[in-house]
Amino acid sequence: MQVASFPTRALFGIEALEVSVEAHISPGLPAFVIVGLPETAVKESKERVRCAIVNSGFDFPEERITINLAPADLPKAGGRYDLAIALAVLIASEQLGTGLAAIGELELLGELALDGTLRPVPGVVQAVLAARVSKRGIVVPAANAHELAIVDYSLALGVGSLTDLVALIARLDNPEATLLSAMAAARALSAADENEKPIASSSRARFAPIRGQARAIRALEIAAAGGHNLLMLGPPGSGKTLLATTLSKLLPRMTRDEALEVACIRSAAGGATALGPAVDRPLRTPHHSATAPSLVGGGANATPGDITLAHRGVLFLDELTEFKPNVLNALREPLEAGSITISRARYRVEFPANFQLVAAMNPCPCGYVGDPRRRCRCTPDRVRNYLGKVSGPLLDRFDLIIEVPALSHAELLARGNDDEQWSRRCKHVAACRDLQHGRQQALNSDLSPAQLDGACELTDANRAGLVTLFDKLKVSARGAHRVLRVARTIADYDGSAEVTQAHYLEAAGYRRGGFEGVY
């Protein structure tokens, strides 16, 4: 009777939880049993492992094989356990030596093809990070090797097949040489990945020219500088989508830690993870037919949704009123908390969702109310009903609401903002955000009411003026706090240490947009 065990990692949400793969071979009728709450894909690994072992030149034991995936109460899904199961079977059947202990416990991750080659699996970034914390080596499929360079862990290796892994084990007679060779292989993979990365384009080529819309551009700068949510109303063709994508490019590139967070999320979702130390922030643009689970996440295996994939970046909802009300209302709590908790019968998982919401919509059903060149066919009641599709609580969570008017032909044919102007704006936005982080360790959009008291020291005159203004605008308590946050950002962006009355008035001017008389 032989027993072998290897650690691996289960993907639970965006976390990599440790799972121990134990193989037990005993005399008896040939059987292959997997226990430990395996799902269908895990149960089917019996046939993949059998064929991979045989096609790699080894004998498959004709005895009773029991595989235990511990802990038993954690659901196991996917083919990520194949490599650990196959190697545990080979060790338990004494077809390989036990020299693997020379470098301590080695975590194994990968799905086997029938010929023994390894296919990529999701969640490699967080698995490598967890292995680094546990101070263990980790082997992943070579197809996931580009994710090793993101974490830059010397004891992480990418192998192409079960045969390659066995060849690595065969060199374990000299522990020191083996450890050095593992580190050299990992560094070689990282260097190769760095050479394959595309060169990031400079900011001079990233911006499309925007004609006119001076007030909208000013709102973009303020939103980018303070991390504020933005809603744009305007007729078709006024440039709302172009402005939204421009906002995502105004934001400074992510730090290394932020890039790792985004890489973990993308890896869990099975998306591209080719991130370097300085990368553009995510921009997610779900279609208005999206369902609530696709936006907030969930499903059978706790998959991240669009709001999590937009973490540290921008979520752009075009044609806002075409989204279903339950989908829009699902955004309200994540916008406040910066995370979302998904509770289902089989799991409860928390996803990060610290994103900046940008939305665009038409001002009426036909889209041409207020357009001097086109006649609107909508009655006042239809306009109010149309705008009312955006609920008051969701509208309250937008810091800036601006109208984007249609441009005249002269404005359309005029010269747009050049690359130098946008480059200066990018630097100004980055400096403003650095100022906020240095002063309060957070962006102005994340300030609590208590922090606002210190950030905006109101004089008696300003306080009296704001009371009158808020009463006139009929803003809620949340809306009042958002006006103060935006005013603080405007002051920072204008280089003012104090928030003046002009800053408060400008911030209040971005509050209601075209929604007067609706709420």
Check if the beta carbon of residue 265 is closer than 8 Å to that of residue 308.
yes
Residue carrying the six token digits 């305007």: 234
Contact 272, 266 (CB under 8 A): yes
The verdict on residue 348 lying in a domain is yes
Residue type, 258: E
Helix (H, G, I), strand (E, B) or coil at 176: helix
In a domain, 280, yes or no: yes
> Do residues 100 and 136 make contact, with C-beta atoms less than 8 angstroms apart?
no
Nearest alpha carbon to residue 90 among 53, 44, 141? 53
**DSSP labels, 418-481:** -HHHHHHHHHHHHHHHHHHHHHHSS-GGG--HHHHHHHS---HHHHHHHHHHHHHHT--HHHHH
- Tokens for 181, please give them: 């060779």
What are the C-alpha distances in Å from 175 to residues 101, 212, 289, 430? Answer: 9, 67, 57, 48
φ/ψ region of 188 (left if φ > 0, alpha if ψ in -120 to 50, else beta) reads alpha
State both tokens at 203.
Answer: 């900011």
Asked if residue 305 belongs to a domain, the reply is yes
Dihedral (C-alpha) 83, 85, 88, 93: value to the nearest 10 degrees? -110
Tell whether 464 is covered by a domain. no
Could you tell me if residue 468 is inside a domain? Answer: no
Return d(Cα 108, Cα 165) in angstroms, integer. Answer: 10
Residues 225 and 335 in one domain: yes
**Do residues 431 and 374 share a domain?**
yes
| pLDDT at site 204 | 40
Looking at the structure, tell me whether residues 211 and 183 fall in a common domain: no
The closest of 472, 495, 473 to 395, measured between CA atoms, is 473
Given a contact cutoff of 8 angstroms between Cβ atoms, the answer to whether 295 and 332 are in contact is no
CB 118 within 8 A of CB 162: yes
User: Do 112 and 80 meet the contact criterion of CB atoms below 8 Å apart?
Assistant: no
Instruction: Provide the β-strand partners of residue 123.
Output: none
Same domain, 166 and 290: no
- Residue 211 included in any domain: yes
- How many domains is the chain built from? 2
Residue 73 DSSP label: T
Q: Do 269 and 381 belong together in one domain? A: yes
**Same domain assignment for residues 292 and 175:** no
Domain end, chosen from 411, 440, 469, is at 440
| CA gap 463, 503 in Å, rounded | 13
Query: Is residue 342 domain-shared with residue 294, that is, in the same domain?
Result: yes
Among 163, 196, 229, give the residue marking a domain's end. 196
Q: Are 281 and 253 in contact (CB under 8 A)?
A: yes
* Cα 219 to Cα 360: distance, rounded to the nearest angstrom: 14
Buried b / exposed e along 428-441 (16+ C-beta atoms within 10 A): bbbebbeebeeebe
SS3 label, residue 484: helix
Report yes or no on 54 lying in a domain: yes
CB 25 within 8 Å of CB 63: yes
pLDDT at 339 (0 to 100): 93
57: three-class secondary structure by DSSP: coil
Q: List, in order, residues 6 or more apart from 266 with CB less than 8 Å away.
A: 125, 272, 273, 275, 309
Q: Do the domain assignments include residue 113?
A: yes
pLDDT for 304? 92
Domain boundary among 172, 196, 220: 196
Q: Is residue 164 located within the same domain as residue 266?
A: no
Laid out side by side, the sheet with 356-361 consists of 283-284, 314-317, 356-361, 230-233, 400-403
pLDDT, position 517: 54
- Domain of 139, CATH number, reads 3.30.230.10
pLDDT by residue, tens only, the chain of 519 residues: 478 888 999 999 899 999 999 999 999 899 999 999 999 999 999 999 999 999 999 999 999 999 999 999 898 999 999 999 999 999 889 887 655 554 557 899 999 999 999 999 999 999 999 999 998 889 999 998 888 878 888 888 889 999 988 887 776 555 554 544 554 554 454 444 444 443 333 334 456 677 778 889 999 999 999 999 999 999 988 889 889 988 988 999 888 889 889 999 999 987 655 554 447 889 999 999 999 999 999 887 788 999 999 999 999 999 999 999 999 999 999 999 999 999 888 788 999 999 999 999 999 999 888 777 888 889 989 998 999 899 989 999 999 999 998 877 777 777 766 677 888 899 999 999 999 999 999 999 998 888 888 788 888 888 888 898 888 888 888 888 999 999 999 999 999 999 998 999 999 999 866 566 554
Measured torsion, CA atoms of residues 52, 58, 63, 66, in degrees rounded to the nearest 10 = -50
* CATH number of the domain that residue 276 is part of: 3.40.50.300
Compute the residue count for the chain: 519
In eight-state DSSP terms, residue 132 is: H
Which residues on neighbouring strands pair with residue 317, listed in sequence order? Answer: 359
Same domain? For 239 and 174 the reply is: no
C-alpha distance from residue 15 to each of 67, 125, 455, 511 (Å): 23, 10, 36, 39
DSSP codes of every residue in 5-52: EEEEEEEETTEEEEEEEEEEEESSS-EEEEESSB-HHHHTHHHHHHHH
Q: Are 188 and 209 contained in the same domain?
A: no
The CA distance from 409 to 429, in Å, is 31
pLDDT, tens digit, 9 for 90 and up, residues 410-454: 777 777 666 778 888 999 999 999 999 999 999 999 988 888 887
What is the biggest distance separating any 2 CA atoms in the chain, rounded to whole angstroms?
A: 89
Q: Are residues 141 and 210 in the same domain?
A: no
**For 344-381, how does the pLDDT look when each residue is reduced to its tens digit (9 = 90+)?**
887 889 999 999 999 999 999 998 887 778 888 899 89
Assess contact for 296 and 334: CB atoms under 8 A. yes
Say what the pLDDT of residue 238 is.
85
Contact 120/86 with Cβ under 8 angstroms?
no
- What is the DSSP pairing of strand 297-298 with strand 303-304? antiparallel
> Inter-axis angle of helices 214-226 and 477-493, to 10 degrees?
100
Specify whether 156 is located in the same domain as 217: no
Helices H / strands E in the chain, number of each: 22, 18
CB 100 within 8 A of CB 50: no
- Phi/psi class of residue 367: alpha, beta or left (left: φ > 0; alpha: ψ in -120 to 50)? left
Q: Which domain holds residue 24?
A: 2-196
